[in-house]
A and B are shown apart, each in its own frame.
Chain A
């Protein structure tokens, strides 16, 4: 366990390694994200970006290293998915995963910050504040006209937005967003960048994305991952001019 008092970071990853059958997907990975920050993570396919998110959210347990949340208060490596979500970490998956058989409304309703215990949901009554929050989120993600449609009938881009909406509904302290603009048109991509910047006003965000235009649009600090560790860090211009980054991207 790290010296818990010395970190002010929202997310502090230190020396994390994850292996799959001897293959090191994460290799002594270290970086940290400060409260209120938005951080973009780029890197070629297979660099370990998704595995990093798995390690933070409890889907995969790191072999070594520490993952510390919220100013050093919580060590995430000993917790499971539910506990980590309860602490205030929300996640959007690379492949949009929404509840296909539920309506858009119900997807958001399930995500809304509320009592998650069985007793709580069994006797749950929707409140008017909840409905108001739902309306606001629907407006933000531009899905108000489809609110009664089942999520399975949405387009790929709409599902991405719905999942971002579900993240918003959770009101997490930290949002991990994996490839949000995959399958979106240029206009949608631009809207998504605006949306994330807007959300970032009151939440810490880590976003993984390939789309350089999108990352440039975000205008935030960038980390380039390669073979499971940090290759370069800085502004998008600094990172994209870095020789090793150029090599990794063009060498493939």
Chain B
């Protein structure tokens, strides 16, 4: 596989992990976050800060402590929130902690005041937009408009080297698989059944004695941490992180991947991310490039109208219908007379 393809697919795999994290809350708990790009970007920035500190005195200005953009902006000392990022373990913790903490604070407020549905979606957009504006500022300390870039090493290995790229790609695949198994474990547990119950009848779940806000909060934070890891793996592979990742449109795009692949089917979410992004690369490199956003919009409309279950959802639906038909045919062949009416068939009579 050529180097550029490794980097490209590595990027897609990170997107697939982001899609998985969105599907966990949207597909299984009905929380439509249109701001998940924020958690992805925060994880990315945490990784970017580590990579910046690894540059050391090899920067243009040769300052051993301060990254180039700080020298350029006349910083005299490293801001306190950059402390610790020269250690990989610290950055790794922050990759989980920064998105997790934001999700916790946001979720704690939103879910306790029972903000749901489209209102919740709107405030998630507001959240990522607010962060976009903050990270654009030069005095915020994260490189402003240009973000963090010109990375050299990760854990002592050259980020540009083919070997490093292959390892990063493999680690992304492992992270995706791990994310998949964590999501699976969550949704197949009794906890996951409560999530689906909340998705389908939230108030009924409360009357059964479940603390709905705690369930939502837990799964929201878990999802944000997963998105953070996806962002962290994305950054060394694309070589840059800038405030553009916080753009509300990016978060909406990620939701479209999930819808295309199939909401509430984990494999569908991942597949949707891969397919749509492959299509994006394909189209944006040709004469259709200026129309990509229209195409994406049309794709979303087409999927929600014609294929509301998404690719994998439709496939599963079709297969289960076929199995049912098969079973019915078999039963008919094996037992020719209809079963005699029983006490229970009384209950089966459709009510007015």
Contacts and interface: CB of A to CB of B under 8 A. Distances in A.
Contacts of A93: 204
Contact of A124 (B189, B196, B201, B350): B189
B67 to A, nearest CB: 40
A170 B200 contact: no
Given A102-B193, A121-B189, A124-B189, 13 more contacts: A81-B207, A116-B209, A116-B211, A118-B218, A123-B189, A124-B191, A156-B351, A157-B349, A170-B208, A183-B352, A184-B351, A185-B346, A188-B347
B206 interface: yes
A183 B349 CA distance: 10
Interface stretch (A103-111, A225-233, A234-242): A103-111
A86 B344 contact: no
Contacts of B347: 142-143, 155, 157-158, 161, 188
Contact of A188 (B204, B206, B218, B346): B346
Given A97-B201, A145-B344, A185-B349, A166 B208 contact: yes
Nearest to B199: A101
- Interface range for A: 35 or more
A131 interface: no
Given A57-B207, A59-B203, A188-B346, A109 B190 contact: yes
A121 B196 CA distance: 13
Interface string A74-108: 00000011100110001101000111111000100
Interface in A133-171: 142-143, 145-146, 155-158, 161, 166, 170
A146 B190 CA distance: 21
B206 A85 contact: yes
Nearest to A144: B344
A157 B191 contact: no
Interface in B197-225: 197, 200-201, 203-212, 214-215, 218
B48 to A, nearest CB: 33
Contacts of A111: 208
A187 interface: yes
A155 B350 contact: yes
A118 B186 CA distance: 11
B175 interface: no
B5 interface: no
Interface residues of B, number: 32
Contact of B210 (A82, A91, A157, A158): A82
B196 A82 contact: no
A85 B214 contact: no
Contact of B350 (A91, A100, A156): A156
B131 interface: no
In this complex, which of A118, A157, A166 has the most chain B Cβ atoms within 10 angstroms of its Cβ? A118
B173 interface: no
Nearest to A59: B203
A209 B214 CA distance: 35
A169 B351 CA distance: 25
B206 A82 contact: yes
Interface in A45-78: 57, 59
Contacts of B77: none
A124 B201 CA distance: 22
A122 B189 contact: yes
B212 A99 contact: no
27 contacts: A81-B203, A81-B207, A82-B212, A85-B207, A85-B208, A98-B204, A100-B201, A102-B196, A109-B193, A110-B194, A110-B208, A116-B208, A116-B210, A116-B211, A118-B191, A118-B214, A121-B190, A122-B189, A122-B191, A142-B347, A146-B344, A155-B351, A156-B350, A157-B347, A157-B349, A157-B351, A184-B351
A99 B196 contact: yes
A4 B325 CA distance: 62
Contacts of A155: 347-351
